[in-house]
A and B are shown apart, each in its own frame.
Chain A
Amino acid sequence: MSVETEIRFRLNGREVCLKVPATMKTLAMLRDKLGMTGTKYACGEGECGACTIKVDGKTVNSCLMYAVDCDGRELVTVEGLRAPDGLHPVQQAFVDHGAVQCGFCTPGMIVQAHYLLENNPGLTREEAQRGLEGNLCRCTGYTKVLDAVEAVAGKGACAGGKGACLGGRAPDAA
């Protein structure tokens, strides 16, 4: 059996402490150990973006990151993107603009869109296209995804803890 290592990190604003095998990927830890199934497995080799999460403010493919490397870090998954009154503005925009069909790529797509808007609040459609290049979708043809991102851009919805967004912190931790 592989050796297990104890790690501590913050997940969506809450402290987490658990033991993980050295070979375990962050995606498997989230899904199989913590029951956080919002983050999806779709390729396991960093090609599709369905498992996108934020680690210390940057998006990563959680299928490529070892779980032990989460130690001491701040993780945000799709479940951590919330607004006090329900859906985060990015999530709401995806709903309102028809950017969700089967929805399997949606969590990764939303985390990536949130990251892009956080770092470039006035994001243009072309910048959003480039920024979402690593997130594959088989249903929507991306058009409505880009409509959703465009609708939120320029509204300060993802400016850290300042706007309507809680920047990944659970409401009770804000």
Chain B
Amino acid sequence: MEKTTAASSPAKQTLIGQRIKKPDAPDKATGKTRYINDMVLPQMLFGKVLFAGRPHARIVRLDTTAAEKLPGVHAVLTGKDAAGLKFGFVRDNVALKDKVRCEHDEIAAVAAETEDIARRALELIEVEYEDLPGVFTPEAGAKEGAPLIHENFPGNKSLHFEIQHGDLAAAEAGSDLIVDNVFRPHHVTHCCMGTSCAIADFDHNGKLTIWTQTQYPYNYKMDLAPALGINPGDIRVIQPPVGGAFGSKLDVYPYEPIAALLAKKTGRPVKVMYSREEEFKASPTRQAAIIHMRTGCTRDGTLTFRAADVLLDNGAYTSWGPTIPVIMMRTVSGHYRVPVVDFKAQAIYTNNPYAGSFRGYGNVQTTYATAQQMDMLADMVDMDPLAFHLKNAQKSGEVTPQKSFLRECALTECLQTAAEASDYSRKRKEYAALREQPGRYKKGIGLASSIHNAGGAKIHKSDGIGTILKMDDYARVTVITGASEIGQGIDAVITLIVAEELGVPLEHVTIVNNDSDIAPWDVGVHASRTTFIAGNGTRRAARKAKEQILRAAEKMLGEPAQGLALRGGSVVRDRDGAALIKLDRLLRQMHFQPEPELVMVTDYYEPKSEPEGAKHISDHSAAYSHAVHIAEITVDTLTGEITVDKVTVAQDVGRVINRMGLEGQIEGGIAIGLGYALSENMRIENGMLRNPGFRDYKLITAPEMPPLDLHFIESDCAEGPYGAKGISELPTIVIAPAIANALYNATGVRIFNPPMSPETVARAIHEKRQATTQAA
């Protein structure tokens, strides 16, 4: 007999905002986790890809005879095996090519018993090319008479986007000051520590099972199917643990259909995994662009308009990279109160590597421009940038020209908090005064902010998620969800929410989210949406389960359900906290009673947002958020080296859910942004990547990571789970312009072509000194 008293019952405590450990961390920390890269299946063959190694060419002759004869080789495929199987955003790509359009174009693929045999087989393939003149910048590609990359895309024109709001000519005429600059954000790449990998296997009913790193398993089926000529319904997607994704796995890349085509041909599972060099050359990039931006204001510091004309380097094929203007334009129109907006973006095919989506999704490039122009205008009207930003900051309830409804807007609080915590205004004045004084090392402080969607982004027909939640006879909870785990920590968030709602221990929650035949539909891990969308889905499912349990408890205990709660693994009476029955016992009684029932609920959550639409005038996210970064740096004016001494962050997170995960996302996001700002750069010369390795492509390392002072502003988003907003992209977006503004504060120079590498900064300082000397 269980005896319970009010005194011994668990007190009501919330888990929201606590520090929750990632459930998969112990296995990862001990080497037990089996990543896709570690997987070996019985009978598995190893696939290898022959890359063109030249940017633009016709294939004159291709002979695979010797490769096919090599013992241990099971299949050799070429362009004719993928002919007509077009895939990609505008159907301009095939798994294996009959013409070369970029360095990493896949010309042939081999499946063999060992990786070594596959590699030797590639060496035996004879290819004769006729090189063609190439196009290596979007300006060159847009010129009349430029070499055509795809015959069905005249003028090398890929995607085009534009929005206009208000009378631009009148706004320009009414502006006292206008800044006008051309920014040239560069190519960088994701550098997931686990290289790209897929394992494919067909059964005899023609159904494909693909083990993949994808972060969007359901639309992935739709995107992969045309590359294979099969029905998306015949694809089962299994997602083993992955070594990072960061947006790189939001599309189908040729190695995936290649693995599947090889599997189909051989009747055996085939694994394709890239080396690091292949990863650098053949995985997507962040979009390089040329952004011509103008922003105006009146003498009192009120913004009048912002106009941007963007030329995107599409690369050879159209993945998600050229779609980034969808987010770029939201920043141009929504980063501070701009009454008049003019935005145009044209993507131009080149023979360069092609871009995919990457954490920050166009906003990294745009904010690098908008946030610097804010700083420049403040200087021109002789205002403290903080005051200038505050003057133009939107308030809760405002609507942007694109109809983004800023229901809960905490931009002002973010600005004030970060500025106060870093003593921004005083330091800025002090450092500016020291700028022209002698001395090799200069200190600078810079403020930047941005806006980003924080409640998903309805760029598909739905931005929803399916959730199934079931409880067993031991009160263990299984959440079967479409939300993918790519290292970001949705596992901890879902666990926390279930434990919060159902009063079970965290370790009694299991998540199944890695098999498209089991878990229900979800859009994918993108747009900073997963905590928001999957958090809501999980909470709704858990509340349905709770209702069912409390109804059963009411029947069994004779206590009204509305006076009952679930806490500490028991049904408790809310009034006095008395634990009335253990949850596992209740569940067994529900299960084995004369009218048996199982606790097994489903939910489909669709956020209250509007589809993006062709005109891009819509409230496309269920929430928007801001972040402010203040970077403090030291510049070595001789070498151009920037040391980031400290970053103060104030971000509107809506509500903290898992504090530890939130901090980790912001810290990691800033590290990627720091690499973008300071050191990472794909050196692409005539279409050829010259630094495909970590030796020459410099990621941020532990000693370069500055101390961070994080401030979470809780704006309590009405639509968010417990008030939370999505958070993961803003940290990557805001840091680079904060450093750029600090560099200006320290030295008076501005870098329009990132990264702010020592070479670039030193040259800019030198040129500025020369100009000053000449002027004197």
Interface residues of A, Cβ cutoff 8 Å to B: 31, 36-45, 47-48, 50, 77-79, 81-82, 87, 91-92, 94-98, 100-107, 110, 128-130, 132-146
Q: Is the interface of A mostly helix, strand, loop or mixed?
A: loop
**Of the residues A47, A50, A106, contact of B695 by C-beta under 8 Å:** A47
CB of B661 within 8 Å of the partner chain: yes
0/1 interface trace, chain B 346-389, chain A, CB 8 Å (1 if under):
00000000000000000000000000000000000000000000
Q: Contact check, A129 vs B702: say whether CB atoms are below 8 A apart.
A: yes
Nearest-neighbour CB distance to chain A for B21, whole angstroms, equals 6
Q: Contacts A37-B34, A42-B195, A102-B242 known; A139 to B487 CB distance under 8 Å?
A: yes
Interface size class of B (residues with CB under 8 A): 35 or more
Whether A100 pairs with B28 at a CB distance below 8 angstroms is: yes
Main secondary structure on B side of the interface with A: loop
Question: Quick one: which of A42, A103, A129, A136 contacts B29, CB cutoff 8 A?
Answer: A103
B18 CB–A CB distance under 8 Å: no
Q: What residues of chain A lie closer than 8 Å to B242, measured between beta carbons? A: 102, 104
5 CB < 8 A contacts A-B: A104-B35, A138-B191, A138-B192, A139-B244, A141-B664
A91 with B26, Cβ < 8 A, contacts A37-B34, A39-B31, A143-B705 known = yes
Q: Are A37 and B31 in contact (CB under 8 A)?
A: yes
CA–CA, A33 and B195, complex, Å: 20
Chain A residues near B694 (CB-CB < 8 A): 43, 45, 47-48, 136
Whether B701 contacts A141 by the Cβ 8 Å rule is no
Closest chain-B Cβ to A128's Cβ sits at a distance in Å of 8
* A144 to B22 CA separation, bound complex (whole angstroms): 13
Residues of A close to B204: CB separation below 8 A: none
Complex Cα–Cα for A25 and B549 (A): 57
Among the listed stretches B96-104, B131-139, B154-162, B668-676, which one makes contact with chain A, having 4 or more residues with CB under 8 Å of it?
B668-676
Q: Is B193 an interface residue (CB 8 A)?
A: yes
Question: How far is A114 from B679 in the complex, measured between Cα atoms in Å?
Answer: 29
Given A40-B193, A48-B694, A132-B702, the answer on whether A144 and B31 have CB atoms closer than 8 Å is no
Among B194, B246, B668, B699, which residue has its beta carbon within 8 angstroms of that of A140?
A: B668
State whether the Cβ of B53 lies closer than 8 Å to any Cβ in chain A. no
Alpha-carbon gap, A134 to B26, bound state (A): 23
Q: Chain A contacts of B276 at CB under 8 A?
A: 42-45, 48
B19 cross-chain contacts in A, Cβ below 8 A:
98
B244's nearest neighbour on chain A, judged by CB, is: A102
B22→A42 contact, CB < 8 A? no
Cβ contact of B21, chosen from A98, A134, A137, cutoff 8 A: A98
Q: Which of A43, A77, A140, A145 is within 8 Å of B31, CB to CB?
A: A77
Q: Which residue of A lies closest to B695 (CB)?
A: A47
Q: What's the Cα separation between A38 and B31 when bound, in Å?
A: 4
Expressed in whole angstroms, the minimum distance between the Cβ of B110 and any Cβ of chain A is 19
Is there contact, CB below 8 Å, between B193 and A96?
Answer: no
Q: Which residues of the other chain, B, contact A38 by a CB distance below 8 angstroms?
A: 30-32
Given that A98-B660, A142-B702 are known contacts, is A45 also in contact with B21, CB under 8 Å in the complex?
no
Assuming A43-B276, A77-B31, A104-B243, is B22 touching A98 (CB within 8 A)? yes
- Cβ contact within 8 Å between B703 and A133: yes
User: CA separation between A138 and B189, bound complex, in Å?
Assistant: 11
Bound Cα distance A100, B24 (Å):
9
